[in-house]
């Protein structure tokens, strides 16, 4: 869905309601029913849409008129939910995708092709690390990973003439390190490329990367935005701020005629919405990783309480992190909201109302102790999932990375003792009691 002056070709017109506060946007943005219309956002469970004349249909295919014609390209329910996320992020347009993986894939492929290059922070989610480092490389798009603690000089040295974007996460998964968005936006822009940020853990309630100079935001909506472990999904949001025309030679897909649309040029036809329009009319048309209207409906039910949930899990996580920090069996805790955390200064700048519910913990007892501890947990469940209403724990050395030795783990930058703990919506006292009894049981 698109807002602003550009005339969107295939998107529903969203009524402007003059809302501004985040909490109100979570409940209302993107859908304002009229007289006698459903109070809850309706599910438009239809593949196709009817027109009266052949010419009407033709004009849609030429991107001359706005309207729906096939749900692979756009669907009213998906667009309303995308509009809500777009309003929260403060963008010019957004699209839903089938997963967070598809969102990050689309964000890259929309401006990268074989022979191009990406610079990415190296502390990103493992799935994205593989997407960039394995799959995109196999497609001929190279990537250079750089440490988030690297100096400007070291980051600058990663760029090449064929570099098309800089990628990072607001809060890294699993390390919960805070990206210095302003610094990396400046670096990206100095090289004439956009900063693409995965804002999954922070959510737009706690951080809006566009306000700090990021150009494109992605989400795995599977995490906090859904928040109930119900639907896998993703979203790409365009700030509309990157000047593609100023670097026209780098982004020919946006700035030169598209033969598959009778020679239309996205930047000329859609202005600030060029990037997000192309993501729909070109990538979604060809790759088809759309979200189903039914899933978008469930996603929206989660989205309507996102503001309440992300605040609550952050508050609880700080209590839990403080408890763990003071426990004699705990070696270390990494949570950005702890006053003595190395990421705390950046947390105060970019996420002043709190980060999220995820933290990393290391225990003193070694791997056997870690396993006894996890087995003794009663409320907190062992899951690969993270960032929803259920408290859960993951030990990469025993689970996702179990094929690696301790030395190999260290070489990959993973502390063998690292446990990712995701705090849910249970009473924090119950979560703390569960951790306390499991630590006690593991010591026996
Ligand atoms: C989970 C996750 C993804 C991938 O999302 P899926 O919805 O599982 O495809 C991408 N980025 C981050 C930060 C994640 O946590």
Q: Where are the domains of the chain?
A: 22-303, 308-442
For residue 194, the model assigns a pLDDT of 98
Quick one: fold of 308-442?
A: 3.90.1150
Output phi, psi for 216, to 5 deg: -130, 140
Instruction: Reply yes or no on whether the pLDDT at 430 is more than 70.
Output: yes
Residue-wise pLDDT for 139-163, tens only, equals 999 999 999 999 999 999 999 999 9
Instruction: Reply yes or no on whether the pLDDT at 10 is more than 50.
Output: no
Instruction: Reply yes or no on whether the pLDDT at 181 is more than 60.
Output: yes
Tokens of residue 282, six digits: 């070109």
DSSP H/E element including 294: helix 293-303
List all residues whose CB is within 6 A of at least one atom of ligand 1: 99-101, 125, 127-128, 169, 173, 198, 200, 220, 222-223, 232, 234
Q: Which residues contact 217 (CB under 8 A, 6 or more apart)?
A: 89, 91, 196, 197, 198, 199, 204, 209, 210, 236, 237, 239
Mean pLDDT for the stretch of residues 85-109: 97
pTM of the model: 0.94
Kindly report the protein residue whose alpha carbon is nearest to atom 6 of ligand 1.
100
**Confidence at 368, pLDDT banded by 50, 70, 90:** very high
Kindly report the protein residue whose alpha carbon is nearest to atom 7 of ligand 1.
100
409 compared with 213, residue with greater pLDDT: 213
Atom of ligand 1 nearest to the CA of 387: 15
CA of 194 to the centre of ligand 1 (A): 21
CB 365 within 8 A of CB 346: no
Q: Which residues contact 249 (CB under 8 A, 6 or more apart)?
A: none
Residue of 173, 220, 295, 299 to mutate, ligand 1, most atoms within 8 A of C-beta: 220
Q: What is the 3-state secondary structure (H, E, C) of 95-137?
A: EEECCHHHHHHHHHHCCCCCCCEEEEECCCCHHHHHHHHHHHH
CA of 365 to the centre of ligand 1 (A): 31
CA of 6 to the centre of ligand 1 (A): 31
Mean pLDDT for the stretch of residues 34-61: 91
CB 394 within 8 A of CB 386: yes
**Confidence at 256, pLDDT banded by 50, 70, 90:** very high
CA of 220 to the centre of ligand 1 (A): 5
Distance CA 410, CA 373 (A): 22
Quick one: fold of 22-303?
A: 3.40.640
Atom of ligand 1 nearest to the CA of 173: 13
**Confidence at 18, pLDDT banded by 50, 70, 90:** low
CA of 236 to the centre of ligand 1 (A): 12
For residue 48, the model assigns a pLDDT of 95
Atom of ligand 1 nearest to the CA of 234: 7
CA of 100 to the centre of ligand 1 (A): 5
Residue-wise pLDDT for 307-336, tens only, equals 999 999 999 999 999 999 999 999 999 999
Residue of 222, 228, 291, 357 to mutate, ligand 1, most atoms within 8 A of C-beta: 222
């Amino acid at each position: 869905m698109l807002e602003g002056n550009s005339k969107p070709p295939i998107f529903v017109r969203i009524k402007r309601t003059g809302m501004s506060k985040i909490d109100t946007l979570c409940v209302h943005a993107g859908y304002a029913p009229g007289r006698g219309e459903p109070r809850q956002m309706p599910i438009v469970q239809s593949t196709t849409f009817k027109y009266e004349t052949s010419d009407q249909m033709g004009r849609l295919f030429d991107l001359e008129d706005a309207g729906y014609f096939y749900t692979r390209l756009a669907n009213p329910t998906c667009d309303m939910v995308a509009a809500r996320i777009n309003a929260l992020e403060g963008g010019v347009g957004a699209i839903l995708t089938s997963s967070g993986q598809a969102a990050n894939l689309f964000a890259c492929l929309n401006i990268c092709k074989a022979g191009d290059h990406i610079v990415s922070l190296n502390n990103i989610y493992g799935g994205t690390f593989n997407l960039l480092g394995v799959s995109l490389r196999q497609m001929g798009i190279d990537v250079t990973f750089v440490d988030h603690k690297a100096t400007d000089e070291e980051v600058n040295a990663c760029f090449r003439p064929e570099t098309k974007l800089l990628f990072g996460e607001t809060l890294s998964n699993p390390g919960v390190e805070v990206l210095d968005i302003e610094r990396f936006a400046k670096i990206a822009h100095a090289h004439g490329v956009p900063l693409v940020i995965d804002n999954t853990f922070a959510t737009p309630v706690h951080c809006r990367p566009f306000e700090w100079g990021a150009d494109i935001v992605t989400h795995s909506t599977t995490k906090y935005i859904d928040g109930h472990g119900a639907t896998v999904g993703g979203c790409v949001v365009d700030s509309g701020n990157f000047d593609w025309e100023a670097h026209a030679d780098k982004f020919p897909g946006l700035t030169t005629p598209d033969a598959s649309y009778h020679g239309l040029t996205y930047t000329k036809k859609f202005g600030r919405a060029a990037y997000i329009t192309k993501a729909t009319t070109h990538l979604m048309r060809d790759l088809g990783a759309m979200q189903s209207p039914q899933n978008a409906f469930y996603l929206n039910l989660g989205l309507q309480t996102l503001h309440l949930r992300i605040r609550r899990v952050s508050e609880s996580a700080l209590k839990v992190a403080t408890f763990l920090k003071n426990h004699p069996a705990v070696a270390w805790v990494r949570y950005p909201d702890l006053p003595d955390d190395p990421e705390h200064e950046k947390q105060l700048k970019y996420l002043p109302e709190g980060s999220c519910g995820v933290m990393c913990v290391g225990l003193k007892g070694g791997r056997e102790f870690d396993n006894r501890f996890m087995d003794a947990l009663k409320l907190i469940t062992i899951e690969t999932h993270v960032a929803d209403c259920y408290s859960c724990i993951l030990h990469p050395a025993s689970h996702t990375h179990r094929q690696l030795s301790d030395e190999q783990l260290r070489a990959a930058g993973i502390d063998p003792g690292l446990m990712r703990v995701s705090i849910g919506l249970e009473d924090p006292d119950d979560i703390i009691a569960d951790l306390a009894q499991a630590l006690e049981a593991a010591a026996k």
